[in-house]
């Protein structure tokens, strides 16, 4: 009887992740136009899903079968390692994918991570951990120009790597970008990006390069890496190197930008 009750109620918890907290508010009750997501100073904030929703039951938080829409990434700004702000649009907000219903609530999911290892992607290092975090220099307070930072994640044994992009806010690709190599797959990331998770094949490395050509006072990115499966007591070796050669940076940008345009053109040709 107890097991049947758990199975029956599982859909009610699809939105929530284990270890995450959430804040939910009726849009009519928000007077400041923003949500403040705050952890303690010695904790790292890890954002989950942040949504607008329409509740069929007049609740102010997500339940199964609610119609939802992700809050635009440009409305989510992390001010420090431990707190972020969500700009809330004025009510009514029309949910176009929800039969043009007006959103009735906003909900933010986040985790306050304790005892974390946060490494600067642009710092020479060679460490071995089961999991950790990597960020741009001075995250989330921007970065300097002419950076060319290369890191590789190497799994131990017959394990895979899970790489989560948690927060991502960069300028256009000709000014700064993150380039990811996962096997033969190449991914170039710039501008605002939604959270995304990459999983490598067994014994497959993940390499990423961060380059910049202009100073930026705001933004950056935060990523988490971990071993898969967790029960194998496996580890990941993180190796990072910094090069200051402007010719290498410009070559990297041109190659990455050309690859990005080629990918977009091919995608459009199939649509």
pLDDT at 271 over 50: no
Residues 125 and 245 in one domain: yes
* Averaged pLDDT score across all residues of the chain: 84
Mean pLDDT of 196-218: 95
Residues 90 and 210 in one domain: no
Which of 32-41, 53-62, 132-141: highest mean pLDDT?
A: 132-141
Which of 30-39, 150-159, 212-221 comes out lowest in average pLDDT?
Answer: 30-39
pLDDT at 92 over 90: no
How far apart (Å, rounded) are the C-alpha atoms in residues 170 and 191? 5
188-224 exposure pattern, b = at least 16 Cβ within 10 A, e = fewer: bbbeeeebeebebeeeebbebbbbbbeebeebbbbbb
**In whole angstroms, how far apart are CA 96 and each of 25, 54, 102, 192?**
20, 11, 9, 21
Q: Which of 53, 88, 113 is the C-terminal boundary of a domain?
A: 113
Q: Which of 51, 80, 113 is the C-terminal boundary of a domain?
A: 113
- Which conformational region is residue 64 in: left (phi greater than 0), alpha (psi within -120 to 50 degrees), or beta? beta
Q: Model confidence at 12, in pLDDT bands (50, 70, 90)?
A: very low
Residues 137 and 218 in one domain: yes
How far apart (Å, rounded) are the C-alpha atoms in residues 82 and 78? 8
The CATH number assigned to the domain holding 14 equals 2.60.120
**pLDDT score for 254:** 53
pLDDT at 185 over 60: yes
The three state secondary structure string of 166-211 is EEEECCCCCCEEEEEEECCEEEEECCECCCEEEECCCCCCEEEEEE
The CATH number assigned to the domain holding 217 equals 2.60.120.290
pLDDT at 52 over 70: yes
**pLDDT score for 59:** 87
Domain membership flag for residue 264: no
**pLDDT score for 250:** 54
Handedness of CA 110, 134, 183, 256 (dihedral sign): positive
Residues 40 and 122 in one domain: no
**pLDDT score for 21:** 86
Closest CA to 89 of 56, 50, 37, 58: 50
**pLDDT score for 89:** 87
Residues 134 and 58 in one domain: no
Mean pLDDT of 130-135: 96
**pLDDT score for 142:** 94
Domain membership flag for residue 140: yes
Residues 133 and 71 in one domain: no
pLDDT digits (tens, 9 = 90+) for 231-260: 778 999 999 998 765 454 555 555 554 544
Which residues neighbour 125 within 8 Å (Cβ) at sequence distance 6 or greater?
119, 238, 239, 240
Residues 135 and 219 in one domain: yes
Domain span holding position 80: 2-113
Which residues neighbour 151 within 8 Å (Cβ) at sequence distance 6 or greater?
121, 134, 207, 208, 209, 238, 239, 240, 241
pLDDT at 82 over 50: yes
How far apart (Å, rounded) are the C-alpha atoms in residues 74 and 193? 9
Q: Which of 58, 88, 113 is the C-terminal boundary of a domain?
A: 113
**pLDDT score for 266:** 42
Residues 168 and 194 in one domain: yes
The answer to whether residues 43 and 191 touch, using CB atoms and an 8 Å cutoff, is no
Q: Model confidence at 230, in pLDDT bands (50, 70, 90)?
A: confident
- The domain total for the chain is 2
Which residues neighbour 189 within 8 Å (Cβ) at sequence distance 6 or greater?
165, 168, 170, 177, 178, 179, 180, 221
Mean pLDDT of 71-98: 90
**pLDDT score for 155:** 96
pLDDT at 126 over 80: yes
């Amino acid at each position: 009887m107890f097991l049947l009750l758990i199975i029956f109620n599982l859909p009610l918890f699809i939105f929530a992740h284990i270890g995450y907290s959430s804040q939910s508010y009726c849009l009519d009750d928000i007077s400041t136009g923003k949500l403040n997501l705050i952890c303690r100073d010695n904790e790292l904030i890890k954002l989950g899903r942040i949504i607008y929703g329409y509740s069929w039951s007049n609740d102010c938080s997500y339940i199964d079968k609610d119609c939802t829409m992700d809050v635009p990434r440009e409305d989510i700004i992390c001010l420090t390692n431990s707190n972020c702000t969500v700009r809330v649009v004025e009510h009514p907000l029309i949910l176009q994918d929800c039969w043009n219903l007006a959103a009735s609530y906003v909900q933010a999911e986040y985790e306050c991570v304790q005892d974390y290892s946060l490494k600067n992607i642009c710092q020479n290092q060679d460490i071995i951990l089961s999991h950790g975090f990597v960020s741009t220099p001075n995250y989330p307070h921007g970065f300097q120009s002419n950076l060319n930072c290369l890191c590789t994640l190497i799994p131990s044994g017959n394990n895979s790597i899970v790489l989560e992009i948690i927060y991502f806010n960069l300028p256009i690709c000709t000014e700064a970008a993150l380039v990811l190599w996962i096997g033969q797959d190449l991914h170039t990331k710039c501008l605002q990006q939604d959270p995304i998770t990459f999983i490598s094949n067994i014994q497959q490395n993940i390499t990423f390069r961060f380059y910049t050509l202009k100073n930026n006072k705001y933004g950056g990115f935060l990523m988490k890496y971990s071993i898969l499966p967790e029960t194998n007591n496996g580890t990941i070796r993180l190796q990072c190197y910094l090069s200051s050669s402007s010719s290498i940076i410009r070559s990297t940008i041109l190659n990455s930008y050309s690859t990005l345009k080629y990918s977009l053109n091919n995608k459009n040709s199939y649509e």
